């Protein structure tokens, strides 16, 4: 039996994938087992896994994927996964809760790794707040648990992470949230290695259609917010609020403006040195650019 490895962050956005993988739709037809692997270190780590052939598909933050694709990652997008923006919470150590973002502009940013969303969003925050991105300092902490350990220090830190994921830690007083910043682009793309697309094209077409169907059907479940909250240890009411503002992709269309907006930001931040055509990022047999 062959396995198809799919990687994503251990967060509530990936609930549809978890549901689909329980069903194992390709065992009989293709003798292929779908395997899900959590990657708590985020998009930077998943980009590396795609480059090194250690995963087949990954659910990657849009800005991180675009930057890494321009830097030479051979993987391309099968389509958007989540079309709505990601709202990042701006966090600091609990003892600095009364401080503003401006007060902490010289603090180190805690990032999962270079090239991750937490790294790239620091530049967007600096741009919004009007302090120079060239002076930003970073501490690599690996994952959310690393951030929690670093936040115990007496030195003020800034940490950007999806706000609902960190909400339990804010409520427990382990982080202080002092602001928010949404992405001006759809937040997640589904990315696949070219070898997998070449070998399993028909399976991936079916997989994409089944995922869209799963997303459509789950919205009919009135207890959906409770199920997601239980799986990811979130507050049910907060989960309901998150669901009302989240849109998963259910078709093959990707807006060209989402790519150009992201590349314009990455150029301003000095993360990339040049832009590429939108077609550079997608598998044309899976995606319709609009």
Q: Is 257 exposed, middle or buried (0-12, 13-18, 19+ CB in 10 A)?
A: exposed
pLDDT at 87 over 90: yes
| Strand pairing category for 176-182 and 87-92 | antiparallel
Query: How far, in Å, CA of 44 to CA of 46, rounded?
Result: 5
Query: How far, in Å, CA of 285 to CA of 151, rounded?
Result: 45
pLDDT (average), residues 162-190: 96
Query: How far, in Å, CA of 173 to CA of 175, rounded?
Result: 6
The phi-psi region of residue 186 (left if phi > 0; otherwise alpha if psi is between -120 and 50; otherwise beta) is beta
Residue 182 tokens, joined: 């949404």
pLDDT at 132 over 90: no
Given this model, what pLDDT does residue 63 score? Answer: 96
* C-alpha distances out from residue 8 to 81, 172, 270, Å: 11, 26, 27
Residue 226 tokens, joined: 């409770």
Query: How far, in Å, CA of 119 to CA of 109, rounded?
Result: 8
pLDDT in tens, 180-207: 999 999 999 999 999 999 999 999 999 9
Query: How far, in Å, CA of 212 to CA of 201, rounded?
Result: 17
In DSSP notation, 12-29 reads: GGGHHHHHHHHH-TTHHH
pLDDT in tens, 17-41: 999 999 999 999 999 999 999 999 9
pLDDT bin (cut points 50, 70, 90) of residue 145 is very high
Given this model, what pLDDT does residue 218 score? Answer: 92
Given this model, what pLDDT does residue 133 score? Answer: 81
pLDDT at 237 over 90: yes
Mean model confidence pLDDT for the chain? 95
Given this model, what pLDDT does residue 236 score? Answer: 96
Q: Which residues contact 52 (CB under 8 A, 6 or more apart)?
A: none
């Amino acid at each position: 039996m062959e396995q198809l490895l799919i990687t994503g962050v251990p967060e509530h956005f990936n609930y549809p994938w978890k549901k689909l993988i329980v069903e194992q739709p390709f065992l009989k037809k293709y003798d292929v087992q779908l395997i899900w692997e959590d990657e708590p270190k985020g998009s930077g780590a998943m980009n590396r896994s795609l480059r090194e052939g250690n995963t087949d598909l990954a659910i990657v933050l849009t800005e991180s994927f675009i930057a890494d694709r321009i830097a030479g990652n051979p993987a391309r997008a099968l389509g958007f996964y989540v079309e709505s923006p990601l709202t990042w919470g701006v966090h600091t150590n609990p003892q600095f809760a009364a401080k503003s973002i401006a007060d902490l502009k010289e603090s180190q940013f805690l990032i999962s790794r270079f090239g991750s969303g937490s790294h790239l969003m620091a530049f967007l925050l600096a741009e919004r707040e009007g302090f120079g991105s060239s002076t930003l300092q970073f501490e690599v902490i690996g994952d959310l648990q690393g951030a929690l350990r670093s936040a115990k220090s007496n030195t003020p830190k800034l940490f950007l992470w999806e706000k609902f994921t960190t909400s339990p830690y804010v409520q427990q007083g382990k982080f202080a949230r002092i602001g928010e910043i949404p992405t001006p682009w759809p937040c997640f793309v589904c990315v696949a290695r070219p070898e997998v697309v070449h070998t399993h094209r028909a399976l991936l077409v079916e997989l994409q259609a089944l995922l869209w169907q799963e997303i459509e059907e789950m919205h009919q479940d009135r207890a959906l917010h409770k199920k997601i909250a239980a799986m990811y240890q979130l507050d049910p009411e907060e989960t309901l609020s998150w669901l009302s503002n989240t849109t998963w992709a259910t078709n093959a269309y990707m807006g060209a403006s989402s790519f150009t907006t992201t590349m314009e930001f990455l150029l301003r931040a000095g993360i990339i040195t040049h832009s590429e055509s939108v077609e550079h990022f997608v598998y044309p047999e899976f995606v319709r650019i609009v």
